[in-house]
């Protein structure tokens, strides 16, 4: 056992647990030590639940000793974006308005991971209410990119990607409303999957934009992400927007390769503004697919450029309503000194929300307000249909759409904070997938200027298995993705 | 009198709580009257991360109600969010229906002084109730919020502005209430607020063609208050207009203690609810098979029942109307008639007793049909004894009252109280002779033409018989003895 | 498309946000810029296009909930995170209807 335990993939750690070469307690302590040694610099964790983790590890070790291991995640230390409700463990959405809030219930993803035996190390940093692309909108602290601490890990699930790159845990969960899993995965050089809308329950995940949000896994390898998805996917009676169709076996067909795969390459994803290094890495990945027996098909997604506009109307409208419950009445922050009721509301929300949530609440309230609904919200929802039709047409000719995740690699902290629109444009390639309710993933495909670059794959509805197989084919060919040094 | 120059235009919005076990979007109890916040969960508290899980019973109740009221059932209806801030609204929005409600059209026929009037419905939609704000819960005048009621399922039933008077409004509300109770979807309790009504009130000059600006009046928890509120509001609007003012569209609260309506400050930005389709709930699909199945479950509705009573039992409309207003009472009536030999004759007698003596006892005791000790079998037995002449009317009243209070067997009551009617000619003749012998002067005056003295003799004889004498026999004998 | 300060204040009041004067100015500028970008949607002819208001494909939705009681929270759990309580009620400033 030469390599440090924390360098193992989830798959390797899980195999060693199964073979009883290592205990869950050892893995847990190794992760806690790694967090202690690195997280002051990275800032991936908002809270470390060491006690809970140690207790869960002990239970997992007992099961394993009794030959009753529950599955590949049993005994494996993982962490959750701090948007997932965890009973008895503070859940803040990285917002002052929820600072110190301890939920009385577990969300469905949380419950399913517990049931799978996973060990919960803590809650991960994010942009406040998942609103952002750089994690700089966290009300508590920024998260940094383990590859270059002066750069962002991407957002909004920045902590979920950074914690993996920093080898602080073996798997994480994030949420993806406009690219919030894929962008950080790409910036940090890990695998991140946004499932089809409805594949993973949203119950017990703090809502940002209900028709776009989707929880999904991140891992250091494709197998790791697939194993996490397997544990949480599937119908949930508590979420009527969760799909009833049976869950595929994501691990079984993972090594199926890419022979015969038709890879659609959208013209619009390479036009203008894409960093040369990023384009080079992506083109190389596409060439690799050809080498593996796949065929490249040029396709067009003509409505791509309308994605940002449609997204910022739909997402903010839904957010303005979803964030109305933060009113200081039943939980969270309250402006105590406020005299009247109305003052209490306005003062609480003014103080509790950061600039980005306020900006989006304002935009969304405006888009829904009397006289503007048809021109903004309704039109945007119609544009979604046009964007979905682009993909439907493309999938007549290809099995998966491939291109860059973002126009550039990880950018510098502070680079875009003063220009919201520029920040929004970082999502230009990821956002159409959310609007079309499709699955998308980011898999490491090389580097640009010493920074990781991810290849984005967008698949047919509920074809997560096919996308993971395609991603695994590339990963096997390129070899394990490199990890940043980040000395302890 | 200026009010006479104006036409009153009314539309009612009724909010009816559905009689489901659990709330519309979570498994919490809908029971009324529990300690504050004892029927709550993360969903109805509007905690972060929760999602609504629609209760199938609510959809079925909405469809059955729509079918009963002749509405068109929308195969694909959509929930929407109505956004506003209020402490009793946990999520900061109410999940309701807006552009695509589950039921549209339809209507209800109501009787207003003899004439039948068709009141058209605009729509029926499903929504969640809000919680309750409790005032002055603390010494410092703070308010409290109880969310037990938050998420209780409601049907909002909206009428067209077809009503033209407070009387019409009250009759419409009574008829609608009877339908919902008959369907078993609502308990019709205005006092507890499980059956609530808001009124859209406007007035227009007789010669005018366009409706006036309307005010929405809330908080009328009795038929009387509805009438009061409308009368007050009409007067207020007319005086406003007459004095050169203008009615503003607003929500007004009825204050029962003052009998007045006043503007609601809490509804300041009520004009901009920012409705949009609820993304957390897929469209509600109701296929034809479901509609057909639910149609089969519809009970006989009050008006149909009254019509049947008129056609099959030749029952006067006035009698029928009273019986069908409460399904349980009408069921009691049907059972009694079935046991009392069917047919118009039995029906008329049963109706007279139910709307007469029984109604009197119900008013006196305030007992709901379910709590009556009197059963249809009891009442049928009493009617039978009357027919057979085993007891007379006066005795029957006494028996019904006793049975209503104790549930004892009518025959035994007759026995115990010795109420059996005396028809034995010999016994009665002896008493007749004694009475006549004891009053020679009256007998003389009767002979000389004072025929109205017959009543005096009957009274005397009955007195001797402790009121149990068979009137027919007594009269016949007196006639014979007094010689016509 | 410039958003006036009055408009910003109207929206802030609807959203229950007491913005500072300088926040009002910043938002007026930033929201105007975003709305300008959003204008490009007007290029598209969306007549006859169904809005995608529900992201789950129709065929994927499941059955509704049965009308069966599920244990909820005890009052103390329900009120545990409340900024202020009175008995088992959430306590709020005086409400004037
Ligand atoms: Mg309503
Ligand atoms: Zn509940």
How far is Cα A261 from Cα B191, in angstroms, rounded to an integer? 69
B242 pLDDT exceeds 80? yes
Task: Give B34-55 pLDDT, tens digit per residue.
Answer: 999 999 999 999 999 999 999 9
Min Cα distance C22 → chain B (Å) is: 25
As a whole number, mean pLDDT of residues B396-404 equals 94
- Mean pLDDT, residues B464-473: 84
Contact yes or no for A323/A348 (Cβ under 8 A)? no
C-alpha B215 to ligand 1 mean position (Å): 16
Q: Please measure the distance between the N-terminal and C-terminal CA atoms of chain A and give it in whole angstroms.
A: 19
* pLDDT for residue B268: 61
Q: Note whether A336 contacts C: Cβ–Cβ < 8 A.
A: yes
Q: Please name the residue of chain B whose CA is at the shortest distance from the CA of residue C91.
A: B144
- CA B187, distance to chain mean position in Å, is 9
A202, A206, A341 member nearest B87 (Cβ): A341
Sorting pLDDT into bands at 50, 70 and 90, what band is B270? low
Phi, psi dihedral angles at A46 (to 5 degrees): -90, -30
CA distance B206 to B132: 41
How many interface pairs between A and C have CB atoms less than 8 angstroms apart? 177
Which of 47-76 (A) contact C at CB < 8 A? Answer: none
Annotation marks residue A242 as catalytic: no
Ligand 2 ion: Cβ-proximal residues, 5 Å cutoff: B 26, 28, 41, 43-44
pLDDT cut 70: percent of chain A above it: 99
Task: Supply the ipTM of this predicted assembly.
Answer: 0.97
Instruction: Give the per-residue pLDDT at B256.
Output: 93
Mean pLDDT, chain A, rounded, equals 96
Determine, for residues B281 and A240 on separate chains, whether the beta-carbon distance falls below 8 Å: yes
Partner B contacted by A67 (CB < 8 A):
no
Tell me how far apart the terminal alpha carbons of chain C are, to the nearest angstrom: 38
Interval between CA B229 and ligand 1 midpoint (Å): 20
Chain B contacts of A368, Cβ < 8 Å? 83, 274-276
- Spatial CA neighbour of B347 closest among B372, B361, B330: B330
Please report residues of A whose CB lies closer than 8 A to that of C12. 362
* Per-residue pLDDT at B46: 98
pLDDT of residue A420: 80
Q: What is the pLDDT of residues B66-95, one digit of tens each?
A: 999 999 999 999 999 999 999 999 999 999
Q: How far is the CA of B156 from the centre of ligand 1 (A)?
A: 6
Residue for token pair 């039948």: B116
**CA A243, A246, A249 angle in degrees (round to 5)?**
125
Confidence of residue B269 (pLDDT cuts 50, 70, 90): low
Span B108-119, average pLDDT: 90
Beta-sheet pairing, A262-266 with A171-175: unpaired
Determine the Cα–Cα distance for residues B330 and B333; give it in Å rounded to an integer. 5
Contacts of C42 in chain A (CB under 8 A): 379
Segment B175-188 mean pLDDT? 94
CA angle at C93 for the pair C88 and C97, rounded to the nearest 5°: 105
| Residues A129, A318 contacting (CB under 8 angstroms) | no
Cβ-contact A201, A239 below 8 angstroms = yes
User: How confident is the model at residue B447, as a pLDDT?
Assistant: 86
pLDDT at B1 over 70: no
Contacts with C60 from chain A: Cβ below 8 Å: 198, 243-245
The string of DSSP codes covering A258-317 is: -TT-EEEEEGGGSSSS--HHHHHHHHHHHHHHHHTT-EEEEE--TTGGGHHHHHHHHHHH
The shortest C-alpha distance from B34 to chain A (Å) reads 19
* Residue B137 structure tokens: 């819960």
Q: How far is the CA of C92 from the centre of ligand 2 (A)?
A: 21
- Give the bridge partners for B94, in sequence order: B82
Q: CB A105 to CB B279 under 8 A?
A: no
Residue B419 is predicted with a pLDDT of 84
pLDDT band of residue B4 (cuts 50, 70, 90) is confident
Distance CA A14, CA A74 (A): 8
In contact, A178 and A56? CB cutoff 8 Å: no
Q: Residue C7: left if φ>0, alpha if ψ -120 to 50, beta else—which one?
A: alpha
Strand partners, B108: B119
The predicted model gives A352-359 an average pLDDT of: 97
Residue B441 CB: number of other CB atoms within 10 A? 7
The answer on pLDDT for A416 being more than 90 is no
In angstroms, the Cα distances linking B223 to A205, A458, B165, B173, B256 are 46, 62, 13, 8, 12
The Cα angle at residue B236 between residues B231 and B239, in degrees rounded to 5: 120
List, in order, residues 6 or more apart from B113 with CB less than 8 Å away.
B167
Helix-helix angle B327-339:B317-324, to 10 degrees? 120
Mean pLDDT of B119-127: 98
At residue B22, the 3 state secondary structure works out as strand
Q: How confident is the model at residue B417 (pLDDT cuts 50, 70, 90)?
A: confident
- Closest residue in A to B46 (Cα) is A325
Query: Is A138 considered catalytic here?
Result: no
Question: What's the average model confidence in pLDDT over C37-47?
Answer: 95
* Tokens describing residue A76: 């494996």
Mutate to test the interface with B, among C55, C63, C65, C96 (most CBs of B within 10 A): C65
CB B14 within 8 A of CB B156: yes
Share of chain B above pLDDT 90, in %: 71
Q: Phi, psi at residue A196, to the nearest 5°?
A: -55, 145
B54 touches chain A (CB under 8 A): yes
Region of A167 on the Ramachandran plot (φ > 0 left; ψ -120 to 50 alpha; else beta): left
CA distance A318 to A324: 10
Token output for A287: 């060439």
The confidence score (pLDDT) of residue B266 equals 60
Are the Cβ atoms of C3 and A329 closer than 8 angstroms? no
Residue that the structure tokens 């149609």 belong to? B295
Q: Is the Cβ pair C69, B133 closer than 8 Å?
A: no
Q: CA C45, CA C52: separation in Å to the nearest integer?
A: 16
Residues 6+ apart with CB under 8 A from B17: B30, B129, B152, B153, B154, B186, B187, B193, B194, B195
What pLDDT digit, counting tens, does each position of A228-259 carry? 999 999 999 999 999 999 999 999 999 999 99
Residues A284-319 have pLDDT tens digits of 999 999 999 999 999 999 999 999 999 999 999 999
Q: Return the pLDDT at A1.
A: 40
Q: What is the mean pLDDT of residues A8-33?
A: 98
Residue A210 has its nearest CB partner, among B83, B145, B279, at B279
Tell if the CB–CB gap between B56 and C55 is shorter than 8 Å.
Answer: no
Question: Which ligand is nearest the CA of B40, by number?
Answer: 2
Whether the Cβ atoms of residue A112 and residue A132 lie closer than 8 Å to each other:
no
Is residue A156 among the annotated active site residues? yes
Coil, strand or helix: which one is B170? helix
For residue range A257-286, list pLDDT tens digits in order: 999 999 999 999 998 789 999 999 999 999
Mean pLDDT for A349-361 is 97
How far is the C-alpha of B213 from the C-alpha of A449, rounded, in Å?
A: 69
Q: Kindly report whether the peptide bond that precedes residue B276 is cis, defined as omega within 30 degrees of 0.
A: no
pLDDT score of B2: 65
Given the residues A14, A157, A180, A408, select the one marked as catalytic.
A180
The per-residue pLDDT for B271 is: 75
Q: How far apart are CA B304 and CA B349, in angstroms?
A: 21
**Token pair in block for residue A399:** 């099995």
Whole-angstrom distance, CA of residue B336 vs CA of residue B315 = 15
Which residues is A298 bridged to in the sheet? A265
**How many other CB atoms are there within 10 angstroms of residue A154's CB atom?**
36
In B129-179, which ranges are E strands?
A: 132-134, 143-146, 153-159
Q: Which residue blocks in B301-342 are alpha helix, DSSP H?
A: 302-313, 317-324, 327-339
The 3-state secondary structure of B237-280, one letter per residue: HHHHHHCCCCCCCCEEEEECCCCEEEECHHHCCCCCCCCEECCC
Instruction: Give the number of whichever ligand sits closest to the CA of residue B151.
Output: 2
SS3 A143: coil
Q: Is B427 helix (H, G, I), strand (E, B) or coil?
A: helix
Phi (first) and psi of residue B148, to 5 degrees: -55, -40
Whether residue A141 has pLDDT greater than 50 = yes
Angstrom CA distances, A68 to A63, A232, B11, B437, stand at 5, 20, 67, 109
* Spatial separation of the C-alpha atoms in residues B42 and B24, rounded to whole Å: 14
Candidates B128, B132, B125; CA nearest to B28 is B128
Cβ(A369)–Cβ(B274) below 8 Å: yes
Look-up: residue for tokens 């964030």? A323
Q: Per mean pLDDT, which range of A381-385, B174-178, B324-328 is the poorest?
A: B324-328
Least confident residue range of A112-126, A146-160, B8-22, B104-118: B104-118
Nearest to A215 by CA among A102, A109, A352: A109
- Give me the residue from C67, C79, C90 closest to B21, CB to CB: C67
């Amino acid at each position: 056992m030469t390599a440090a335990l924390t360098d193992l993939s989830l798959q390797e750690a899980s195999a060693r647990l199964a073979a009883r070469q290592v205990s869950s307690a050892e893995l847990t302590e190794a992760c806690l030590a790694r967090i202690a040694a690195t997280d002051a610099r990275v800032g991936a964790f908002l809270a470390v639940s060491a006690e809970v983790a140690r207790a869960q590890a002990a239970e997992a070790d007992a099961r394993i000793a009794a030959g009753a291991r529950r599955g590949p995640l049993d005994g494996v230390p993982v962490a959750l974006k701090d948007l997932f409700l965890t009973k008895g463990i503070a859940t803040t959405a990285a917002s002052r308005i929820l600072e110190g809030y301890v939920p009385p219930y577990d969300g469905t993803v949380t419950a399913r991971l517990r049931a799978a035996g996973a060990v919960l190390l803590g809650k991960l940093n994010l942009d406040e209410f998942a609103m952002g692309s750089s994690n700089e909108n966290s009300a508590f602290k920024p998260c940094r990119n383990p590859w270059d601490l002066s750069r962002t890990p991407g957002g909004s699930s920045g902590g979920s990607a950074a914690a993996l790159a920093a080898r602080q845990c073996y798997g994480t969960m994030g949420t993806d409303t406009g690219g919030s899993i894929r962008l950080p995965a790409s910036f940090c050089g890990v695998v991140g999957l946004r499932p089809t809308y409805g594949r993973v329950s949203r119950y017990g995940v703090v809502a940002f934009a209900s028709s776009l949000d989707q929880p999904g896994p991140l891992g250091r390898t494709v197998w790791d992400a697939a194993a996490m998805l397997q544990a949480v996917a599937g119908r949930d009676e508590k979420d009527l927007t969760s799909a009833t169709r049976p869950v595929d076996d994501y691990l079984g067909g993972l090594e199926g390769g890419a022979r015969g795969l038709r890879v659609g390459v959208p013209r619009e994803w390479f036009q203008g503004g894409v960093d040369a290094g990023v384009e080079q890495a992506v083109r190389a990945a596409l060439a690799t697919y050809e080498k593996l027996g796949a065929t490249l098909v040029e396709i067009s997604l003509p409505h791509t450029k309308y994605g940002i506009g449609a997204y910022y109307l739909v997402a903010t409208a839904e957010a303005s309503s979803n964030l109305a419950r933060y009113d200081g009445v039943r939980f969270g922050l309250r402006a105590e000194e406020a005299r009247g009721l109305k003052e209490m509301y306005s003062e609480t929300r003014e103080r509790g929300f950061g600039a980005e949530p306020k900006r989006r609440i304002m935009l969304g309230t405006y888009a829904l307000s009397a006289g503007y609904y048809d021109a903004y919200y309704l039109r945007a929802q119609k544009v979604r249909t046009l964007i979905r039709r682009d993909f439907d047409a493309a999938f007549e000719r290809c099995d998966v759409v491939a291109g860059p995740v973002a126009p550039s690699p990880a950018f510098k902290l502070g680079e875009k904070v003063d220009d919201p629109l520029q920040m929004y444009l970082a999502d230009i390639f990821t956002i159409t997938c959310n609007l079309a309710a499709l699955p998308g993933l980011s898999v490491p495909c090389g580097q640009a200027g010493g920074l990781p670059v991810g290849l984005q794959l967008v698949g047919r509805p509920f074809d997560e298995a096919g996308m993971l197989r395609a991603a695994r084919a590339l990963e096997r060919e390129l070899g394990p993705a490199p990890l940043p040094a980040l000395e302890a | 009198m200026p009010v006479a120059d104006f036409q009153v235009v009314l539309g009612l919005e009724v909010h009816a709580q559905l009689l489901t076990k659990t709330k519309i979007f979570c498994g919490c109890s809908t029971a009324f009257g529990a300690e504050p916040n004892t029927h709550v969960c993360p969903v109805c508290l509007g905690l972060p991360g929760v999602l609504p899980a629609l209760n199938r019973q609510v959809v079925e109740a909405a469809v059955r109600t729509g079918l009963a009221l002749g509405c068109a059932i929308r195969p694909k209806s959509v929930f929407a969010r109505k956004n506003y801030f209020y402490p009793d609204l946990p999520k900061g929005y109410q999940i309701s229906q807006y552009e695509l409600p589950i039921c549209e059209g339809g209507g209800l026929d109501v009787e207003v002084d003899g004439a039948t009037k068709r009141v058209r419905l605009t729509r029926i939609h499903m929504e969640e109730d809000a919680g309750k704000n409790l005032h002055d819960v603390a010494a410092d005048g703070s308010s409290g919020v109880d969310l037990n009621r938050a998420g209780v399922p409601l049907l909002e039933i909206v009428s067209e502005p077809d009503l033209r008077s407070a009387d019409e409004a009250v009759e419409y509300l009574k008829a609608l209430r009877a339908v919902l109770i008959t369907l078993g979807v609502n308990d019709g309790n205005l006092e507890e607020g499980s059956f609530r009504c808001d009124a859209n009130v406007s007035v227009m000059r007789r010669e005018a063609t366009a409706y006036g600006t309307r005010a929405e009046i809330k908080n009328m928890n009795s038929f009387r208050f509805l009438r009061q509120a409308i009368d007050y509001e009409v007067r207020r609007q007319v005086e406003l207009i007459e004095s050169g003012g203008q009615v503003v569209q607003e929500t007004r609260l009825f204050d029962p203690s003052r009998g007045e309506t006043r503007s609601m400050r809490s509804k300041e930005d009520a004009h901009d609810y920012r409705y949009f389709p609820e993304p957390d709930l897929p469209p509600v699909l109701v296929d034809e098979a479901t509609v057909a199945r639910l149609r089969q479950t519809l009970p006989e509705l009050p008006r149909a029942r009254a019509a049947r009573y008129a056609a099959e039992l030749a029952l006067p409309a006035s009698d029928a109307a009273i019986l069908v207003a409460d399904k349980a009472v009408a069921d009691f009536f049907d059972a009694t008639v079935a046991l009392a030999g069917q047919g118009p004759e039995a029906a008329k007698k049963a109706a007279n007793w139910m709307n007469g003596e029984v109604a009197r006892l119900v008013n006196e005791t305030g007992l709901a049909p379910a709590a009556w000790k009197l059963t249809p079998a009891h009442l049928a037995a009493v009617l039978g004894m009357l027919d057979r002449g085993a007891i007379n009317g006066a005795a029957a009243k006494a028996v019904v009252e006793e049975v209503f209070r104790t549930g004892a067997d009518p025959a035994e009551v007759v026995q115990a109280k010795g109420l059996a009617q005396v028809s034995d000619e010999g016994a009665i003749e002896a008493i007749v002779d004694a009475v006549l012998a004891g009053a020679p002067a009256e007998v003389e005056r009767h002979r000389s033409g004072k025929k109205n003295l017959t009543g005096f003799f009957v009274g005397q004889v009955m007195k001797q018989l402790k009121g149990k004498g068979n009137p027919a026999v007594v009269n016949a004998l007196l006639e014979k003895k007094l010689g016509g | 498309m410039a958003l006036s300060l009055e408009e910003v204040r109207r929206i802030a009041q609807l959203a229950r946000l007491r913005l500072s004067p300088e926040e009002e100015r910043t938002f007026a500028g930033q929201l105007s810029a975003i709305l300008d970008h959003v204008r490009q949607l007007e290029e598209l002819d969306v007549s006859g296009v169904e809005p995608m208001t529900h992201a789950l494909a129709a065929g994927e939705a499941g059955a509704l909930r049965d009308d069966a009681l599920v244990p909820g929270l005890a009052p103390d759990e329900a009120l545990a995170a409340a900024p202020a309580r009175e008995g088992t009620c959430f306590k709020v400033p005086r409400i004037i209807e």
